[in-house]
Structure 1
Amino acid sequence: MADGKWISYLRVSTDRQGKSGLGIEAQRNSVSEYLNGGEWSLVKEYVEIESGKRTDRPMLAEAIKACRAHKARLVIAKLDRLSRDAHFLLGLEKAGIDFVAADMPNANRLTVGIMAMVAEEERRMISKRTKDALAAAKRRGKKLGGDRGVVPTKRARALAADALKARADSRAADIAPIVAELQAAGRLSLRDIAKGLNEAGIPTARGQGKWSAIQVRRVMARM
């Protein structure tokens, strides 16, 4: 049973299909049937007319941004509406969102499960290599261990700062389309935009509290 927030993504392969509505309505019905029941809300629907052989689909990119902004899940009618390329499907995990195909609800869990197994194997191999290296160092007479109160180097601090900045910039990029919609609707002040974000249920960066004018100003400065 579906619950929470959802973003739907519908795709057809040709302009002719898009103009006639062929395929779109069937996909929309499949999504509706999957979401039927439970406590859920469909935040927005994205429709794209594009070939499945391409992965640079702007509407899908917008749908992914909306999922991150609303902390919602992506729902599609059929698995092949995204891509027949397994590598591209795995890329959704890197996008930081979860997705479900109405015709194959367990596909997402299967994909994530495969990735988890691969990651677990990699962690096991890293652990084994680390232990082997430590054992070899010990045999060479090298003293292991050291000061636990290590002070981060200047480079380490710079890298950490860059990572935080990149995360904040990415969040601002996800919210930018929503802010643009609010401004187009006449909400121009920082306070009005903050109110609009709160009304739309957009979580703050930390996922706690409500948007304020100061927070909106900080985000807009990064756009």
Structure 2
Amino acid sequence: MTTVTPLIPGRRTRARRTSTASTIAAGYLRVSTADQAESGLGIDAQRAAITRTAEQQGLTLAGFYTDAGVSGSVAPDKRPGMAAALDTLADASAGVLIAAKIDRVSRSTSDALQLADRARREGWRLITADGLDSSDETPANKLMTNIQLSVVEWERDTIRSRTREALAELKARGVKLGHPCTVSDEVLTRIILELSECKSLREIGAGLREDGYTTATGKTTWHAQTVKQLAECTRAREITSQLFPQSAATNA
């Protein structure tokens, strides 16, 4: 679901960016699951952070562009909300794009850096509530930007790596993988590992959505109840007993 709140009604034309436009900001909001979109919790927190940042920097926050239920792995210009925001910035109707965090803009290091480069080329700023600013080309800011983006990718890659390692370990033990189930053993293993780290069902679902996994029915929305049901299915229990045999014996 995408919501666009236009900054300036009516037809827009390409124009030179004015000093006034440089103080006008567009807020960008993104959540990856329908649950988050419906509850409004993730959106509300981002909106509050963006509004606070605009006030602190003396910017006029003229509107918001929202991509709800859209993965951060999707290229920025392929998301309707972000694409509309970029058009507004390119038209010089606004001079600043504010997001709560850089991972709301993109979970891809290359995509986020390309967007920052585009901002510099077109003469607008990309800033985040936690301090990043595309117009700040100091070594320190570049370092912080790269660190934050690298952490986002590292977290995603670590989850994938641990899931693959766990599956390889199960195979080495002679466990037959691929038993009939509504989702793959890879997804079940990931759910089990993340539950063992005390992640919430909502967090696990959001992560699966972010990384492009689909449910048994081909949907990209992972409700908390769906994750819970999968974690309790017979196949998931078999995998759990192999990954954590001591825990299984204790609960027997």
**TM-score band, normalised by the shorter chain?**
0.3 to 0.5
TM-score (norm 1): 0.45
Q: Which protein has the larger Cα radius of gyration, Structure 1 or Structure 2?
A: 1
